[in-house]
Amino acid sequence: MFDDLGGFLINLIAGLPGIVIAMVVHEYAHARVAFALGDYTPQMQGRLTLNPAAHVDPIGLLMLFLVHFGWAKPVQINPMNFSNPRRDDILVSLAGPASNLITAFLALILLVLLAKLDVPFTEGLLVVFNLIIIYNINFAIFNMLPIPPLDGSHILRNLLPYELARQFESLERYSFIFLLIIIATPILSYVFVPLQRFIFGIFKGIVGVLL
């Protein structure tokens, strides 16, 4: 029992930076792009900041550790403030996952640079860096799933013809059921593991060329 508790606390401490960074960067990117495209709703709600308090939902954060499914405070936008609502909503939706991938890539570059400069760091710090990379890649993959209210559903809805988009929107009432199914079954692992390895492999290849 105490070993399990100790392992949980170690994972909590090591994983906390990665999860918080992934949440904050993701939501800030949504807010910043929405603001740049003419919607001032995120600014009025105090979301144009990298302060974790503005983006991290404590319950959602705890759930991530307990059941590996959680959430941040979603950035609210009003597409009617955009000059091109469908296009701009897609851009805002893409901003979150894209920012997570960029963060993961930069963390990998920093890790490799530290190693090449022979900067001493503990095994614990190496775990923290690896989890920052992994959590940000996972955040990007998960949020691109076409399940409401995830970013992937916004993108798909805006790409569909009007009637199909309305039918797709009607599925949102069942989104929690869909999420429970993919979390409680091996379905998600068939998506996450190959994509995670593919993306990480690309990043390693690019970093290998650059450094």
Hey, which residues are catalytic here?
27
Cis amide prior to 149 (ω within 30 degrees): yes
- Kindly state the tokens that stand for 151: 């970013």
Closest Cα partner for 84 from 42, 48, 38?
A: 38
AA identity, residue 17: P
d(CA 163, CA 87): 17
H or E element that contains 52: none
AA identity, residue 105: F
CA-CA distances (angstroms) from residue 69 to 76, 108, 144, 202? Answer: 21, 24, 15, 26
Q: Which residues, in sequence order, are CB contacts of 141 under 8 Å at separation 6+?
A: 97, 191, 192, 195, 196, 199
- Kindly state the tokens that stand for 95: 């901003």
